[in-house]
């Protein structure tokens, strides 16, 4: 399946980011902790250039903690602060505020020397659709300021939001890129819901996800769907989907599998963390390209 999705408003977002960079001090880049490589727009580096940056792994509660720690070390080795956050319960958001001011220390001190005692940190949050930007903003502000939704593409315009007396934030819509050179990246985005389900064959996506999990998180997969690990060894994607469908009773007339229903169940349960805390990418897989 060839996955491509680049709505017109995303080209506008790219221009919006470039045009407003001069207004901000620190970039907050939100990534999905489950797919740190695939959820990173390769155009962001060229867009933000040398602006100070914080990387925030959102949805960290859904990701494999062991692998998340590996990513934190990987970013530290690149000289970039990486913080695990949860935009639903607020985990890590105070650390974001403190780190942003830390990155601005020299500018704040220069202004104080000139007699300007108060320097608010102006930040911009960037990230792909459905990475949780609106929920992040609402939580860090403390009230429902930004429009939120569980579908990609909800935020469409530019908004300045006052976080506190010490910080302001420029929100931008989520941005993907015109073409996925690596279809595995496109599939990872489909797994996590960054690409709208209604433009894809969800059956193919669910089969690919089950096959991937059977190789990397076999115990979690078998526990969730009450499978015997030995019984699914060597199964092809379609056979896996059918086996899981029978276990969940997704049967229609004449004993046939309801592929649409079981595909939706598989994707919903993965995205909701019900299968387990899963990370689909590790540092070193393809991470060397992330700072180019």
Annotated binding site for GTP: 58-61, 86-87, 130-135, 174
The whole-angstrom separation of Cα 21 and Cα 17 is 6
Asked if 264 contacts 250 with a C-beta cutoff of 8 angstroms, the reply is no
Beta strand extents in the chain (DSSP E only): 26-32, 53-58, 81-84, 121-126, 159-164, 167-171
- Residue ranges of the annotated binding site are 58-61, 86-87, 130-135, 174
Tokens 């169940």, located at residue = 265
Residues 6+ apart with CB under 8 A from 81: 54, 55, 75, 99, 103
Strands 159-164 and 167-171: antiparallel
HSE-up of residue 47 (Cα within 13 Å, Cβ side): 24
What is the phi-psi region of residue 253: left when phi exceeds 0, alpha when psi lies from -120 to 50, beta otherwise?
Answer: beta
- Give me the phi and psi of 66, to 5 degrees please: -60, -45
Eight-state DSSP code of residue 50? T
Give the start-end residues of each E strand in 91-238: 121-126, 159-164, 167-171
Eight-class DSSP state of 63:
S
Separation of alpha carbons 128 and 40, rounded Å: 7
């Amino acid at each position: 399946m060839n996955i491509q999705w680049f709505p017109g408003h995303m080209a506008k977002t790219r221009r919006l980011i470039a045009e407003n960079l001069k207004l901000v001090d620190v970039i907050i880049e939100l990534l999905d902790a489950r797919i740190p490589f695939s959820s990173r727009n390769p155009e962001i580096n060229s867009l933000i250039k040398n602006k100070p940056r914080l990387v925030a792994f959102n949805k960290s509660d859904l990701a494999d903690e062991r692998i998340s720690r590996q990513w934190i070390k990987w970013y530290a080795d690149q000289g970039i602060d990486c913080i695990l956050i949860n935009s639903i319960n607020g985990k890590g958001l105070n650390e974001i505020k403190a780190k942003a001011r830390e990155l601005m220390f020299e500018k704040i001190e220069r202004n104080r020397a000139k007699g300007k005692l108060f320097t608010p940190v102006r930040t911009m949050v960037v990230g792909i659709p459905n990475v949780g930007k609106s929920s992040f903003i609402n939580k860090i502000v403390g009230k429902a300021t930004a429009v939120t939704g569980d579908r990609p593409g909800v935020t469409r315009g530019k908004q300045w939001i006052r976080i506190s007396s010490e910080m302001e934030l420029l929100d931008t819509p989520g941005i993907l890129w015109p073409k996925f050179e690596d279809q595995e990246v496109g599939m990872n985005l489909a797994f996590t819901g960054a690409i709208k389900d209604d433009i894809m064959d969800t059956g193919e996506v669910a089969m690919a996800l089950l096959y991937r999990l059977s190789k990397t998180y076999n115990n979690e997969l078998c526990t969730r769907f009450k499978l015997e690990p030995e019984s699914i060894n060597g199964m092809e994607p379609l056979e896996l989907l059918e086996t899981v469908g029978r276990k969940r009773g997704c049967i229609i007339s004449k004993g046939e599998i309801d592929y649409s229903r079981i595909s939706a169940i598989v994707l919903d349960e993965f995205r909701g963390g019900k299968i387990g805390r899963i990370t689909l990418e590790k540092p070193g897989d393809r991470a060397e390209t992330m700072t180019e």
